[in-house]
A = this chain, B = another copy of it.
């Protein structure tokens, strides 16, 4: 008798964004004449930048000729990309990460979802509330105990280490959904907590490229001692508009050890074993596209897109100001996190916004209890849609 993984029955409802997509498709089907604007799912809308397009065409041509054809790639990614990451994302910020500590993948969602494979079920997992649902759902699926660390408006939605022990901690900065960014002191407190409890921090830096304030760290490894306790995830989805291309990477320092059956084991080696067994590398063409972001032109073009999205964020915030709606300050994230007007619950506000304004957002409640009564809009749509959505919003 084939048994299902019973833990799936402990999941709460559908995956958040699948549910958001379901409700908006349903509305669109019933109202085909309405122009629905999505400021919901954090999906980019600007096309890939010219440097990436050029690199991908060239890589496609490589695949068309026997002499330059690439079959199975290295499980952990091509050196040409690993070297750029080590150099520009880390060394340039004073962090020493070797190419053997970087694993290129098909995206940070896969990585943050699959990383659980190398951890035992007995670990207790600490997750800041609100949070990207993948953190909780994947741990529920694995039968791990999840403990939530509440965050609130009055501390800027920044999670603080609790006074009890735990084994795995998810931190996301710049945060999805709140947009809050942790400073070095705040990260240092978590590194200290992890050291004290021999815990591991899973640091999700998918929105790193949006950081504007030069005093803020881009990597957790900018904090002393973090290499012994932290795994970091990065993504090209938002940095380079790769949501439909799929590329990200995980950094697992050699120093990072887990408690095994017979003493300490290397998390880096476990992940290599996991990836070489359940994954077969990332598309050569995709990796060449990602590499192009590390050229001066590619970088400049990508940063122009980021600036464009941040301007959308500013427009949304200005609209909220005009309505007197409270939102979380800060300009280092593509998200606007605000309090639902009129004391509405966030799903009620979602439905109202969809049916009255024809605007799709993401209910804060979908990210956790502490998101109740809060709402997330994104700066990822185009300029005219963003402006139109905010005008409709103001009328509401």
A residues contacting B by CB (< 8 A) are 1-6, 8-9, 11, 14-15, 17-18, 41, 43-48, 50, 53, 56-57, 60-61, 63-66, 69-73, 75, 106-107, 109-110, 113-114, 117-123, 133-134, 137-138, 141, 167-168, 197-200, 241, 243-246, 258-262, 265, 267, 270, 273-274, 276-286, 382
Residues in B neighbouring A167, C-beta threshold 8 A: 1-3
| Cβ contacts under 8 Å, A265 to chain B | 4, 8-9
Across-interface contacts of A14 in B (CB, < 8 A): 273, 276
Q: Which residue of B lies closest to A274 (CB)?
A: B141
CB–CB B278/A113 < 8 A = yes
- Which B residue sits closest to A61, measured CB to CB? B53
Q: Which of B17, B65, B71 contacts A44 (CB 8 A)?
A: B71
Q: Are A47 and B72 in contact (CB under 8 A)?
A: no
Q: Are A245 and B285 in contact (CB under 8 A)?
A: yes
Give A194's nearest chain B residue, CB to CB.
B2
Cβ contact within 8 Å between A277 and B69:
no
CA distance A243 to B281 in the complex (A): 9
**Are A120 and B262 in contact, with the CB atoms below 8 A?**
no
Complex Cα spacing A70 to B45, Å: 8
Contact A244 B284 (CB under 8 A): yes
Q: How far is it, in angstroms, between the C-alpha of A73 and the C-alpha of B109 when the chains are bound?
A: 14
Within the complex, what minimum Cβ distance (angstroms) separates A111 from chain B? 9
Most B C-beta atoms less than 10 A away, residue of A65, A75, A121, A245:
A245
* B63 lies within 8 A of A53 (CB): yes
Complex contact A260–B4 (CB within 8 A): yes
A2 touches B119 (CB 8 A): yes
Which of B64, B71, B259, B286 sits near A4, CB closer than 8 Å?
B259
Assuming the contacts A43-B72, A69-B45, asked whether A246 and B282 have C-beta atoms less than 8 A apart, the reply is yes
A189 vs chain B, min Cβ distance (A): 18
* CA–CA, A60 and B53, complex, Å: 7
Bound together, the chains give a CA A282 to CA B66 distance in angstroms of: 25
Knowing A63-B53, A106-B106, A141-B117 are in contact, say whether A244-B48 is a contact too (CB < 8 A): no
Q: A4-B119, A71-B244 are in contact. Are A60 and B57 (CB under 8 A)?
A: yes
B63 and A279 contact, CB distance less than 8 A:
no
Residue of B nearest to A64 (CB): B53
Residues of B within 8 A of A5 (CB): 117-121, 270
CB contact between A279 and one of B4, B69, B110, B198 (< 8 Å): that residue:
B110
A118 lies within 8 A of B246 (CB)? no
Q: Report how far A4 CA is from B4 CA in the complex, Å.
A: 24
Q: Is B63 a contact of A45 with CB atoms below 8 Å?
A: no
Asked if A48 and B64 make an inter-chain contact with CB atoms under 8 angstroms apart, the answer reads: yes
CB-CB under 8 A from A246, the residues of chain B are: 106, 280-283
